[in-house]
Amino acid sequence: MILSPSILAADFGILAEQIKQVERGGAKWLHIDVMDGHFVKNISFAMPVIKSIRKYTDLFFDVHLMIDDPGDYIDAVIDSGADGVTFHIEAVDDPYPCIEKIKRRGKQAGLSVSPDTPVEAVLPYINDVDMVLAMTVYPGLGGQKYMTRVNDKIRALRRAAGENFLIQVDGGVTKENIDSVLAAGANVIVAGTCVFTGDIERNIKDLSR
């Protein structure tokens, strides 16, 4: 599995130091949510934040766009330091232009699906992207409880995509439920609150499988 700690739950006053703790804990990815206040009812990191932390770490920047018109921002996000860019199927009429734009820049392309969107919405594109993100909470706010009903969607994605495809989950993953999440077929785990509450390095080791 790949653990991708979400800095949405970090202490922004000591963000660079907490990113170093993530590295020391052994995580290889860092999950960065970009929210515009329109697609979701929250506002978060934009390009200046991504660019400012890029110089402090070589971690894989796993950038999740929860925004309208994601194609307008892909180049700017990549220029700021993103290694992978994931956008929502619900935010576009046709995902292919965004996928192609990410791929042309040599980055990992991901497609995200919200809890109430049927898995069939993303199945036609699994051969065109590197990863599908199944949201296990409603996008936009941290600290929500994991929606176990999304496990059926994860299982369907795993059956369709095969053994090695990257299936990411984001929202409500804890030390107590991570094994059931992995058993459903996820292999990339976003974790925020349970990483950045308390001993970050210990938390990452406890979550790692």
**Annotated active-site positions, please?**
33, 170
C-alpha atoms less than 13 angstroms from C-alpha of 72 in its C-beta half-sphere: 7
Paired tokens of 85: 């860019």
One DSSP character per residue, 34-103 reads: EEBSSSSS-B---HHHHHHHHTT--SEEEEEEESSSGGGTHHHHHHHT-SEEEEEGGG-S-SHHHHHHHH
Q: Please, which residues have CB within 8 angstroms of residue 75's CB and are 6 or more apart in sequence?
A: 101, 105
CA gap 100, 112 in Å, rounded: 16
In which residue are the tokens 């180049």 written?
Answer: 75
Helices (H), 81-162: 96-104, 151-161
